[in-house]
Amino acid sequence: EVQLVESGGGLVQAGGSLRLSCAASEFTSDYYAIGWFRQAPGKEREEVSCISSSDGSTFYTDSVKGRFTLSADNTKNTVYLQMNSLKPEDTAVYYCAILGGSYHLHLGCGGPYDYWGQGTQVTVSS
């Protein structure tokens, strides 16, 4: 079973930055989509950003465009979410998830995702 371990969350002031990491154990599928999702208290989980290993396409939800950057280090089986200019509304538990298959991501992250990490808390104070 694939294991995903997130790290990098924490408390930061508005305007600050954090970098989340998601380390994945070996994934048997040749191609996959891997992404970040978040869930704030009292709200539904939403997709934040994702990347396709088959064509490198990426998706960012509108509220994070220009502030968040997703990147991948395939040598370490790790994806990163660099979050800049953080806002209080970014406060949520952030989850990493992976989905086997070949996808072109431009309208969303697709799914349902097969494996999920345990989540990491991001809190942005005003």
Contact predicate 67/89, CB 8 Å: no
Q: What is the pLDDT confidence band of residue 52, given thresholds at 50, 70 and 90?
A: very high
Q: What is the pLDDT confidence band of residue 77, given thresholds at 50, 70 and 90?
A: confident
Q: What is the pLDDT confidence band of residue 26, given thresholds at 50, 70 and 90?
A: confident
**CB neighbour list of residue 54: distance below 8 Å, 6 or more residues apart:** 31, 102, 103, 104
What tokens does 33 get? 């989509």
Whether 76 shows a pLDDT value over 90: the answer reads no
**Longest CA pairwise span in the chain (Å):** 43
Whether 27 shows a pLDDT value over 80: the answer reads no
Phi, psi of 76 (to 5 degrees): -110, 5
User: What's the whole-number mean pLDDT along residues 50-77?
Assistant: 93
Please name which of 25, 32, 28, 82 lies closest in space to residue 55, comparing C-alpha atoms: 32
Q: What is the pLDDT confidence band of residue 1, given thresholds at 50, 70 and 90?
A: confident
Higher pLDDT, 65 or 27: 65
Q: Can you name the residues that pair with 83 across neighbouring β-strands?
A: 18, 68
The one-letter amino acid code at 2 reads: V
User: What's the whole-number mean pLDDT along residues 37-59?
Assistant: 95
Q: What is the pLDDT confidence band of residue 75, given thresholds at 50, 70 and 90?
A: confident
Phi, psi of 64 (to 5 degrees): -115, -5
